[in-house]
């Protein structure tokens, strides 16, 4: 352990050296350096929130500014935010329960995460589930009263059964999409449900698509924004007379096969990632052809390695159990931000990175997770990643108001030392909007047991279980989000003169990969005096420019 820690630290320090020599030192001549050093980098930086966004921000900012003193403020007694993995002793060994996120997706969005995994020396602990393994390939949607295997790589559904269940009802109307007139140009946004109803068929929104959105956002397709979450289709509609027509119109633009649209922000991220992120073959080989990945000790292992690494770096201080109450720009001409905590003396910082929630921007939903472990293996009637429950399922089939169930013992192999069946039931989300109180642990367990009995036929008592209610845990990118974000960025920029940068799951996607990528983008934006600019770090996200046309396969 000690050796490993030492290696973390030396890797971190050498990456800091690599990153800073050309940026800070070389950019200033010796004479200037003597006088300008205090202004060449922010001497004191505060990171508000110690979830994955805050930890990754501190890590990447320390690489940019190794001489800055960085203070991480975390309200809770532990770091990691929603990432919480726990080892539970069971007869014959132990099993890992994930209370929050459980897996990450490989692919382009994960490249910065992969860089982090390499630098933290976690490559040997990565557990990747191959795309063709049943635990990845078999994904189900429960509709109206049964599990339906979805088509996809490695899955062999019965199309007859799928047609009979009605889960794909309305899809044939996709053929009529080119004949539906395009939206009025004055419409600034609409819900995912409304967009799909207008373009194709309401049943698609209610059934299949709502199931997917339950899996990612625990959200309501009739509230979530089509402009934000179905961005490409939303843009294509205005490139022609329909989405299909828009798609056809952009083809041939690059003369390199099929073309697609990309937002200015994603184009920017892609260019910078391509330029700077190099992933070793050991890791890229491990993740090739995998569907999801995690670590031997769960996602907590990423948080633990990151926090260990940060704690051993003398310039970084972590303040646990220290909720930030407010932060304000000082009017002392220094352009400093004063951070006030509940019971401490206010502290001044040259730069603040806030990962705190922004309720003015996004409402949040509350989710309950119920981890169930049965010592009997193979209790599930099918093998797979799990199943999602659409909004269109009749009430009597989902009175518990569940969102879905993951088959953890199939989806990730290699975390548990005892055999058995492991499931997680997710309940609540938008179904619990406006609720004043939520089910307690005992009620939650009963709800989960009644659900798996009806849906999976599991009647056995779980050997171990854990119930968690995660209040306001997932931000909802609801209709009008893009306009609200633009106003929020503008307001924050003006209020703090650019000395507050914004990172977190309410800006660029809720996945852990999105949070890490954003932290990296923010940190590299501080280079070359970028930290002094009147900007929040989200400017490319709200820029009002047309989307670009690029080949689908462009790296």
Ligand X SMILES: Cc1cc2nc3c(=O)[nH]c(=O)nc-3n(C[C@H](O)[C@H](O)[C@H](O)COP(=O)(O)OP(=O)(O)OC[C@H]3O[C@@H](n4cnc5c(N)ncnc54)[C@H](O)[C@@H]3O)c2cc1C
Q: Which residues bind ligand X (CB under 6 A)?
A: 48-54, 73-76, 81-83, 100-104, 323-324, 355-356, 367, 369, 470, 473-474, 504-505, 510-513, 515
Considering the complex, state which of residue 369 and residue 536 has its C-beta at the smaller distance from ligand X.
369
Considering the complex, state which of residue 48 and residue 127 has its C-beta at the smaller distance from ligand X.
48
CB 519 to ligand X: min, Å: 9
CB 537 to ligand X: min, Å: 14
Considering the complex, state which of residue 197 and residue 371 has its C-beta at the smaller distance from ligand X.
371
User: Distance (Å, rounded) from C-alpha 207 to C-alpha 201?
Assistant: 11
CB 355 to ligand X: min, Å: 5
Considering the complex, state which of residue 126 and residue 196 has its C-beta at the smaller distance from ligand X.
126
CB 371 to ligand X: min, Å: 11
CB 82 to ligand X: min, Å: 4
Instruction: Assess contact for 130 and 290: CB atoms under 8 A.
Output: yes
User: Distance (Å, rounded) from C-alpha 234 to C-alpha 366?
Assistant: 28
CB 236 to ligand X: min, Å: 27
Instruction: Assess contact for 545 and 255: CB atoms under 8 A.
Output: no
Using DSSP, state whether 427 is helix, strand or coil: strand
Using DSSP, state whether 500 is helix, strand or coil: strand
Considering the complex, state which of residue 43 and residue 76 has its C-beta at the smaller distance from ligand X.
76
CB 50 to ligand X: min, Å: 5
Considering the complex, state which of residue 418 and residue 511 has its C-beta at the smaller distance from ligand X.
511
CB 508 to ligand X: min, Å: 10
Q: Whose CA is closest to 523, among 502, 539, 548? A: 502
Instruction: Assess contact for 273 and 554: CB atoms under 8 A.
Output: no
CB 472 to ligand X: min, Å: 9
> Which two tokens mark 68?
């800055």
Strands (E), 241-396: 259-262, 290-295, 316-319, 324-329, 337-341, 347-349, 351-354, 364-374, 386-388
DSSP lists the bridge partners of residue 128 as: 293
**Parallel, antiparallel or unpaired: strands 259-262 and 548-551:** antiparallel
Q: Is 297 exposed, middle or buried (0-12, 13-18, 19+ CB in 10 A)?
A: middle
> φ and ψ at 382, to 5 degrees?
-135, 160
Place of tokens 């109206």: 144
User: Distance (Å, rounded) from C-alpha 202 to C-alpha 187?
Assistant: 19
Q: What angle do CA 488, 220, 408 make, to 5 degrees?
A: 105
User: Distance (Å, rounded) from C-alpha 212 to C-alpha 295?
Assistant: 24
User: Distance (Å, rounded) from C-alpha 407 to C-alpha 157?
Assistant: 18
Considering the complex, state which of residue 208 and residue 302 has its C-beta at the smaller distance from ligand X.
302
Considering the complex, state which of residue 291 and residue 355 has its C-beta at the smaller distance from ligand X.
355
CB 306 to ligand X: min, Å: 11
> Which two tokens mark 180?
């539906």
Considering the complex, state which of residue 100 and residue 135 has its C-beta at the smaller distance from ligand X.
100
Q: Whose CA is closest to 326, among 297, 352, 360? A: 352
Considering the complex, state which of residue 372 and residue 512 has its C-beta at the smaller distance from ligand X.
512
DSSP lists the bridge partners of residue 420 as: none
User: Distance (Å, rounded) from C-alpha 362 to C-alpha 479?
Assistant: 10
Place of tokens 């603040």: 352
CB 533 to ligand X: min, Å: 23
- How many angstroms from the chain centroid is the CA of residue 548? 24
Considering the complex, state which of residue 427 and residue 452 has its C-beta at the smaller distance from ligand X.
427
Close Cβ partners of 494 (under 8 Å, ≥ 6 residues apart) = 534
Considering the complex, state which of residue 369 and residue 478 has its C-beta at the smaller distance from ligand X.
369
């Amino acid at each position: 352990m000690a050796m490993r820690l030492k290696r973390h630290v030396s890797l971190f320090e050498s990456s800091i050296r690599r990153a800073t020599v050309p940026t800070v030192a070389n950019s200033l001549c010796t004479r200037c350096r003597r006088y300008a050093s205090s202004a060449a980098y922010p001497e004191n930086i505060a990171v508000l929130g110690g979830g994955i966004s805050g930890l990754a921000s501190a890590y990447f900012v320390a690489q940019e500014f190794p001489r800055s003193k960085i203070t991480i403020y975390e309200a809770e007694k532990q770091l990691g935010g929603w990432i919480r993995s726990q080892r539970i002793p069971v007869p014959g060994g132990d099993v890992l329960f994930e209370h929050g996120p459980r897996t990450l997706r490989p692919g382009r969005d994960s490249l910065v995460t992969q860089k982090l995994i390499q630098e933290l020396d976690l490559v040997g602990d990565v557990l990747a589930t191959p795309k063709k393994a049943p635990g990845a390939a078999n994904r189900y949607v429960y509709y109206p009263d049964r599990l339906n295997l979805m088509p996809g790589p490695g899955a062999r559904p019965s199309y007859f059964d799928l047609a009979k269940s009605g889960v794909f009802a309305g899809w044939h109307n996709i053929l009529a999409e080119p004949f539906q007139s395009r939206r009025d140009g004055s419409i600034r946004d609409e819900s995912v449900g409304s967009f799909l109803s207008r373009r194709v068929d309401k049943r698609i929104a209610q059934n299949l698509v709502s199931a997917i959105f339950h899996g990612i956002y625990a959200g309501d397709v009739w509230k979530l924004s089509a402009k934000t979450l179905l961005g490409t289709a939303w843009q294509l509609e205005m490139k022609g007379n329909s989405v299909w027509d828009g798609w056809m119109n952009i083809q041939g633009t690059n003369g390199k096969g099929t073309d697609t649209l990309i937002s200015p922000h994603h184009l920017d991220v892609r260019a910078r990632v391509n330029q700077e992120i190099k992933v070793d073959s050991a890791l890229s080989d491990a993740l090739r052809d995998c569907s999801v990945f995690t670590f031997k000790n769960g996602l907590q292992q990423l948080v633990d390695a990151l926090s260990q690494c940060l704690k051993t770096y003398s310039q970084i201080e972590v303040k646990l159990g220290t909720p930030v109450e407010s932060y304000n720009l000082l009017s002392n001409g220094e352009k400093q931000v004063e951070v006030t905590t509940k019971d401490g003396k206010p502290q001044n910082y040259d730069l603040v990175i806030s990962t705190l929630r922004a309720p003015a921007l996004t409402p949040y939903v509350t989710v309950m997770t119920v981890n169930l472990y049965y010592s009997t293996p193979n209790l599930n009637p099918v093998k797979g990643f799990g199943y999602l429950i659409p909004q269109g399922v009749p009430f009597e089939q989902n009175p518990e108001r569940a969102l879905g169930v993951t088959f953890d013992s199939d989806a990730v192999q290699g975390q548990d030392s005892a055999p058995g069946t492991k499931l997680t039931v997710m309940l609540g989300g938008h179904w619990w909007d406006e609720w004043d109180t939520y089910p307690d642990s005992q009620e939650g367990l009963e709800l989960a047991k009644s659900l798996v009995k009806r849906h999976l036929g599991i009647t056995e008592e779980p050997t171990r279980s854990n119930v968690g209610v995660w209040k306001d845990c997932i931000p909802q990118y609801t209709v009008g989000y893009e306009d609200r974000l633009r106003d929020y960025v503008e307001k924050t920029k003006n209020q703090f003169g650019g000395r507050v940068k914004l990172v977190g799951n309410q800006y660029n996607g809720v996945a852990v990969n999105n949070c890490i990528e954003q932290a990296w983008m923010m940190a590299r934006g501080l280079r070359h005096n970028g930290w002094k600019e009147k900007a929040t770090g989200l400017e490319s996200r709200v820029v009002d420019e047309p989307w670009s046309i690029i080949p689908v396969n462009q790296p």
